[in-house]
């Protein structure tokens, strides 16, 4: 069986649907997981969907992905803008990876304009809501199935 695609979500994403719905909308992380799994099944790939508020746990999962995943989607939340540790773990990943954000960080506060994740991933999808996850899955499946 092929290795699953890892979807890793960072701090406060467990509060989607209730936290600042005027910014993030009413879609919950559980809704995103259902949509992501449906997309993955349609494309014939297994999915490992996770969330943690703890930076070290996220780093551990990125490191685990090196051997256990076919590709990675990461919404690092606020750690996007602060975590050198995630940057270093991603740099060592050696797998296709996409950074996803529900909002467009470049239309928000200036401190959100810097990403420690972007320089070490394959691509970035931001600003189109929860749909970004399914687009990332589609893109990664295309990349990992390419000759």
Residues 6 or more apart whose Cβ sits within 8 Å of residue 4: 45, 46, 47, 48, 68, 69, 70
- Tokens 């014939």 belong to which residue? 44
Read off the tokens for 82.
């602060």
Active-site residue, 101 included: yes
Residues 6 or more apart whose Cβ sits within 8 Å of residue 14: 29, 51, 53
Residue tagged active-site, from 87, 101, 116, 133: 101
Active-site residue, 24 included: yes
Residue tagged active-site, from 24, 79, 116, 133: 24
User: Looking at the annotation, which residues are catalytic?
Assistant: 24, 101
């Amino acid at each position: 069986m092929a290795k699953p695609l890892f979807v890793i979500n960072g701090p406060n994403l467990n509060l989607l649907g209730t936290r600042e719905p005027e910014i993030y909308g009413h879609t919950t992380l559980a809704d995103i997981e259902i949509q992501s799994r449906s997309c993955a099944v349609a494309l014939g790939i297994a999915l490992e969907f996770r969330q943690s508020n703890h930076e070290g746990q996220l780093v551990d999962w990125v490191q685990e992905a090196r051997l256990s995943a076919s590709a990675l989607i990461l919404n690092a939340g606020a750690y996007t803008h602060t975590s050198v540790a995630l940057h270093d773990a991603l740099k060592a990943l050696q797998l296709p990876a996409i950074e996803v954000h529900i909002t467009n960080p470049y239309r928000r506060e200036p401190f959100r304009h810097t990403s420690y994740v972007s320089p070490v991933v394959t691509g970035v999808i931001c600003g189109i809501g929860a749909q970004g996850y399914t687009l990332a899955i589609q893109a990664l499946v295309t990349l990992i199935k390419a000759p």
